[in-house]
Structure 1
Amino acid sequence: MHILMAQINTHVGDFVGNTNQVIQIANQASLSQESPVVVFPELTLSGYPPEDLLLRPALCKRVNDSIDRLCRELPSNAWVIVGYPIRRGDILYNCAGVFHEGELKVEYHKNELPNYQVFDEKRYFAAGSRPCVFDIQGTKVGLSICEDIWVPGPSAAAASAGAELLINLNASPFHRGKQQERMDLVAKRCCDNQVAVVYVNQVGGQDELVFDGGSFAMGSNGSLAAQSARFESAADWCEFPGGEAGRGFRQSALAEPLDELAAIWQALVLGMRDYVNKNGFPSVVLGLSGGVDSALTLAVAVDALGAERVEAVMMPFRYTSDISIADAAEQSATLGVRHSVISIEPIYESFLAALSDEFAGLSADTTEENLQARCRGVLLMSISNKKRSLVLTTGNKSELAVGYSTLYGDMAGGFDVLKDVPKTLVYELCRYRNSLGPCIPDRVIERPPSAELAPDQKDEDRLPPYDVLDRILELYVEQDFSAEAIIAEGIAREDVERAVRLVDINEYKRRQAPIGVRITQRGFGRDRRYPITSAWRIGD
């Protein structure tokens, strides 16, 4: 049995385009093999996750039109396995369908519906209750979909029903360390049930989620026989002999593994590229301050889109250092992007003049600092309106967590690629990107971080050191430790109580922040949904 792992990048809601991909790939496969098995990801026809599009009245017609096309246009010699949502009677299921000889031969309804972290499938789907095992060329094949393989029951049920080979359709999003989790888990299912597994994952960015592909085939002893590249579309063959020998695959090509920093980098690049391209933006623009966050954002943008689609704007003020201006210009020249300089000094003075009566008798405070950021936000949004260019904000996860950002200022924009990247990881990624080629001036990485909104300002004047802060945030935000539990880890009480208080009181800011790529097990957004108005005690 020759099996093609069709790891594709779908576009949510584009039933015609997604169906075209299925037909094109299946037709190509049928020319390569006499009776190929072609496997596509979960919910291929609709794209994943379709969210409340699943509730639209027109959904059923679009799905059925796509299924009719598949029956008419797929090659009759191929076995094509595709994911889609389908309503049977009054019930909506997450399905895998098997198409052969112009018919929908088999349909499986996903048994396990995830309802945690970024998943909320129980909002939409009903769960199936039975395994699905059918015959292809004398081999008993079982179907499962994504979450089905993360719990023991569905795989065991398929094996008990006679499955020798389990085909698992996935839309499994990336986070740090996820690929190894998948492979360890699937290896356990293989060994526990003495069944081989083909695991096909989708690839591409969808809002804050990134799907990293990495499809693979494993024998019943958990041995890896084939693996696709991550973060790119692929169509890779694996060969399953069948019969008693068919508990394993013939060895096929294995993609080069990625270390953690390389995987994160590719996730950020892919997430930005697909967000910009799928939403039809011709270009992006960002404020390049000479600091490390905007430098990293610019590097991701150039790798994702090409220098010709990126504009960097330096917007200096009286507190902006000469080296910040020089470093921003140097990086722009190194990467070949359009670079402009627009001083915010006259805009700021005009605002202050207009507000003079309102501010009379009041001393200067953070209001004047925030006003600088808002002047910059106005400029960038005006450029965006005029040129249809998407504004990239540059805030990292550490800043977003504690509210070290300005609403309608540096938070003004459409996409924040660093939204889930802690500050300490920002530095690691800068050094990683520089290892690939000249990009970010060394001085940008080595200087103490500063918003440069006041004389001699440093981030650590108002925040704990970033290595301490990021450890607190990892425990509090990602692992749900209480303040007392974090203190018990050996972190100073003053730093812990200050940080968790800032996290709790800044939920209102995060609700108004642009979306960004999710790379951790719990990002701000789909993962973490806390009330803004709450009497919950700080730090619990």
Structure 2
Amino acid sequence: MAQNTLKIALAQLNPIVGDVAGNEEKARSARAEAARLGADIVMFTELFLAGYPAEDLVLKPAFQDACRAAVERLARETSDGGPAILIGLPWREKDHLHNAYALLDNGAITVRFKVDLPNYGVFDEKRNFEPGPLPGPVNFRGIRLGLPICEDIWTGDVVECLAETGAEMLLVPNGSPYWRGKTEERFNIAASRVTESGLPLVYLNEIGGQDELVFDGASFVLNADCSLACQLPAYEETLALTTWEKGDEGWVCRAGPPATVEEGEQADYAACVLGLRDYVEKNRFPGVVIGLSGGIDSALCAAMAVDALGAERVHCVMLPYRYTSGESFQDAEDCAKALGVRYDTLPIAPAVEGFEALLQPLFAGKPRDITEENLQSRARGTILMSISNKFGPMVVTTGNKSEMSVGYATLYGDMNGGFNPIKDLYKMEVYRLSALRNEWKPKGALGPDGVVIPENILSKAPSAELRENQKDQDSLPPYDILDDILRGLVEEELRVSEIVAKGHDLETVKKVERLLYLAEYKRRQSAPGVKVTRKNFGRDRRYPIVNRFRDQGAVAYRPDEAMERTTAKPQRAAMDV
């Protein structure tokens, strides 16, 4: 006889890609906790045993074997009469590898395969998996559970098939990465499937950082009337018990936690912190080292690092040269004091002047230009990497999306580093998040309360300080204009004419488009960073380096015109080689 009550434990956890044994043990511990809570079944996320996304690692037979052995061990343990398990893993069936979700109960394994494999944006699952057939529900102690996997609910076919074949509820495991506005998008998709099927739905999402992606959790439950029955927090691990009852109208979730989820700029900041923390932790770095210049980008990165790791694991270094202003000295020192980090000053003049002396025989008779300016940046990069090599901390690189877009950065200089938490934030967003952090701190952050980025850093004009009185906007449009043009070119893929129609100057738009294309070779060599927007550089936007296309018949500029963060004239700047 089917039961009329059900307790489902939702395990919103942070697996590590490739750590099959660790993920198995995490599942085992969560099941034990679910048993203490009185759960009938504990639900894990998509490909939990493998970690998500494991990319081509899932193609390795030894890895497939390890995942299969882990699920078989867990299945045997369910013979103890405790909670059943729902868990994701790669599953080879004959000659086909599937993204699978397995029900483990009373020692037995029942699997369902993902049907709709996403192959857009950051996803390329068709490279790794074969789609499964349209599924029916699985029987769990007399209850028919529909198990669509992540993308399976983004169109209607899988859920329609499950409803027609008798499913009583939809339990959806997800590996859904964060980008701005994603929370509302998930709710809308889930509500559509609930409305079409008349079935309640559990949306369980993983949390954690994996390379460029951040998974924000924010799992939820919708009843059949689309009312929100349960909301789990974002950006933190949790095991939550939900209580269900079956009445004349079907199953209803009667109890579950009602968390509040960060939105907007708070969500962006929290995503950057989580992405940085997990990149450092999962790669087992002891901490990070940051070149703290007195500018807004490095200050925000330092604040994020302290929030992620704690002040004792963050080392900030000021690397001044003759063009470093007294204002920058003071701002960097004030920022370091506010954050409570170790702070050292290492003047770079001996390194820069040593390089210039070494190169003088080759450069004799040539005027000074961006080459000498870039020696400053490269000296700083070498020093930071040397600290990393000697003591082990990872170098945090600090270029924002505006700079990465137009190549306003120096290869093997300020682009040096292992990870960039603000890589997908435009310059004006960097300012907004810095102001936000001065008045708000995310839950669980390890940094101090209050103002951590001095107000003068927020108010002064940005400068790379590679020459006297240099300002960024000697070479670039004002950042509010530049960012709006870049959003049109990058996120929206607008025509130049469409951006001009929004009120921008034609020549400015064409210049920005040219710089965007020419800087592709630099971005290919840049550190990974947290994805925040719908289209980041890296997993999302994949453009050729050799590329002569320009919109509106613009001439094809040569690669040696790519921009450096230097004194170069705006219309023609030399490229690093």
Give the structure-2-normalised TM-score: 0.92
| Aligned counterpart, 2:451 | 438
Letter in 1 for 2:107: G
Secondary structure of 2:254's aligned partner: coil
8 A contact 2:222–2:230 mirrored in 1: yes
- Equivalent of 1:335, from 326, 339, 355? 339
Deviation at 1:517, TM superposition (A): 0.5
In structure 1, what is the Cα distance between the partners aligned to 2:177 and 2:379? 37
Deviation at 1:55, TM superposition (A): 1.7
In structure 2, what is the Cα distance between the partners aligned to 1:326 and 1:12? 42
| Aligned counterpart, 2:319 | 315
In structure 1, what is the Cα distance between the partners aligned to 2:65 and 2:120? 30
| Aligned counterpart, 2:487 | 474
8 A contact 2:244–2:255 mirrored in 1: no
Deviation at 1:57, TM superposition (A): 2.4
Correspondence 1:157 to 2:170 = no
8 A contact 2:301–2:398 mirrored in 1: yes
Greater Cα shift, 137-146 or 262-271: 137-146
| Structural mapping, 1:372-383, within 5 Å | 372-383=376-387
In structure 2, what is the Cα distance between the partners aligned to 1:359 and 1:210? 47
Deviation at 1:251, TM superposition (A): 4.1
| Structural mapping, 1:428-507, within 5 Å | 428-436=432-440, 437-507=450-520
- Equivalent of 2:133, from 111, 129, 132? 129
8 A contact 1:204–1:211 mirrored in 2: yes
Deviation at 1:218, TM superposition (A): 0.4
In structure 1, what is the Cα distance between the partners aligned to 2:108 and 2:10? 21
Correspondence 1:2 to 2:15 = no
Deviation at 1:480, TM superposition (A): 0.9
Correspondence 1:12 to 2:17 = yes
8 A contact 1:76–1:102 mirrored in 2: no
In structure 1, what is the Cα distance between the partners aligned to 2:241 and 2:213? 27
| Structural mapping, 1:22-421, within 5 Å | 22-33=27-38, 36-74=40-78, 75-104=80-109, 106-421=110-425
In structure 1, what is the Cα distance between the partners aligned to 2:195 and 2:243? 19
Deviation at 1:539, TM superposition (A): 6.9
Distance 1:298 1:483, change over 3 A: same
Letter in 2 for 1:425: E
Letter in 1 for 2:127: R
Greater Cα shift, 173-182 or 255-264: 255-264
Q: Deviations over 1:380-399 (max 9, x none)?
A: 01001000110001100000
Q: Deviations over 1:41-90 (max 9, x none)?
A: 00000000111111212122102210221122245332210000011101
8 A contact 1:501–1:538 mirrored in 2: no
In structure 2, what is the Cα distance between the partners aligned to 1:351 and 1:412? 18
Greater Cα shift, 145-154 or 75-84: 75-84
- Equivalent of 1:511, from 524, 529, 532? 524
Distance 1:479 1:8, change over 3 A: same
Deviation at 1:362, TM superposition (A): 1.2
In structure 1, what is the Cα distance between the partners aligned to 2:52 and 2:35? 26
Q: Deviations over 1:487-520 (max 9, x none)?
A: 1222111221111100001100000000000011
In structure 2, what is the Cα distance between the partners aligned to 1:264 and 1:389? 25
8 A contact 1:138–1:242 mirrored in 2: no
Letter in 1 for 2:416: A
In structure 1, what is the Cα distance between the partners aligned to 2:552 and 2:526? 23
Q: Deviations over 1:248-268 (max 9, x none)?
A: 321432111313111111101
8 A contact 1:283–1:309 mirrored in 2: yes
Greater Cα shift, 487-496 or 469-478: 487-496
8 A contact 1:293–1:396 mirrored in 2: yes
Deviation at 1:242, TM superposition (A): 2.0
Distance 1:58 1:196, change over 3 A: same
In structure 1, what is the Cα distance between the partners aligned to 2:488 and 2:56? 32
Give the RMSD, CA atoms, in angstroms.
1.2
Secondary structure of 1:484's aligned partner: helix
Secondary structure of 2:111's aligned partner: strand
Greater Cα shift, 361-370 or 140-149: 361-370
Secondary structure of 1:379's aligned partner: helix
Secondary structure of 1:352's aligned partner: helix
Letter in 1 for 2:436: Y
8 A contact 1:268–1:300 mirrored in 2: yes
8 A contact 1:139–1:243 mirrored in 2: no
In structure 2, what is the Cα distance between the partners aligned to 1:259 and 1:60? 37
In structure 2, what is the Cα distance between the partners aligned to 1:50 and 1:210? 14
In structure 2, what is the Cα distance between the partners aligned to 1:189 and 1:18? 30
8 A contact 2:44–2:87 mirrored in 1: yes
Deviation at 1:128, TM superposition (A): 0.8
Count residues with an aligned counterpart: 538
In structure 1, what is the Cα distance between the partners aligned to 2:150 and 2:191? 15
Secondary structure of 1:4's aligned partner: strand
Letter in 2 for 1:249: C
Deviation at 1:345, TM superposition (A): 1.1
Letter in 2 for 1:259: E
Secondary structure of 2:288's aligned partner: strand
Q: Deviations over 1:264-312 (max 9, x none)?
A: 1110110000000100100100100000000000000000000000000
In structure 2, what is the Cα distance between the partners aligned to 1:251 and 1:462? 58
In structure 2, what is the Cα distance between the partners aligned to 1:65 and 1:163? 29
Q: Percent identity?
A: 46
8 A contact 2:209–2:274 mirrored in 1: yes
- Equivalent of 1:529, from 542, 546, 555? 542
Q: Deviations over 1:154-185 (max 9, x none)?
A: 11111111112001000000001101110121
